[in-house]
Structure 1
């Protein structure tokens, strides 16, 4: 019966809408991040302006994620502060993603690209670390309305690890020959896939957090 109940939960409209919210949020976010990355690359040695653009792209990503996730969770967990969820997600996810993008600003392609396996392994580790940090901040918001809010830390880490690997894998595909619209379109597609992965894993495990009655 436990497996049947888990399957019903996995196939429920609630899970589907959560996956859709995460996919839409990351689609918006990675579109903004791809556009910001391409714009920053055109600025050459003007690092302050490039940094500002990268941070702006990260804030768009965090804002979309915080807004859409917070709206969904606010309907499931009565009394949860959507504003608090939005705020911590913007700060941790948005600025965290911007920070992860910064090393590429001054990078040179003269040394060749690192092996894709190494990049993906690093992305898994980065996703797990950022997911856990984000999970802690979000669990502080959930703890007033969820019985086992701290389980969200592990759920977030587990879900963000493969999602980040998808994002980094997509980011490695384009080179200087790609047009800006193509890069942005790839960013959108990558974000949708990464968000769907994020939503599927976190949504499947979300019932373990349990609402506080």
Structure 2
């Protein structure tokens, strides 16, 4: 009897570089997430260092490169990683103007849509449109792993920043309340920067964030 490959697990690396928007530049560290088994992989938010990401992937087939949003620090390694791995780049179309700021001569291969499902190693990755930090921001919910990958929509301690162009505070709050806080409390939140948290840890603080505008 043929033995099936193990179910995918979550792999993680941190890369460093710059975030640039509205004429400013900031040094940042980004979480790069990989959902993979020994044969297949999906990369979420290819930041800064395509060679380091490719080294972690090894010889596995990369089925998709998913960008939770198109700020340059989340997509700057995407075209080169796609060239290395042969994987298609997925982005929500409402973030194409931001993508073009980072990659004026490149275009993502596939559009992300709310409710879309992407399969890796037999697991379903559910795409949830969670705008606010950017118009086309998405989160990736993986029920089988009890995990959601929120990009810069939700962090430990609050929502993502909305003080720059293409962002809106009421929109991000609505996204968090209706598209993330409806998930089970034990769901682990894997963020675009910094530590993980859970839906249950963050849900009680929504009113505080609204009251202080953060």
Length-normalised TM-score, structure 2: 0.26
Which structure carries more strand by proportion? 2
More helix by share: 1
Give the structure, 1 or 2, with the largest relative contact order (CA under 8 Å, sep 6 or more).
1
Q: Which of 1 and 2 has greater Rg?
A: 1
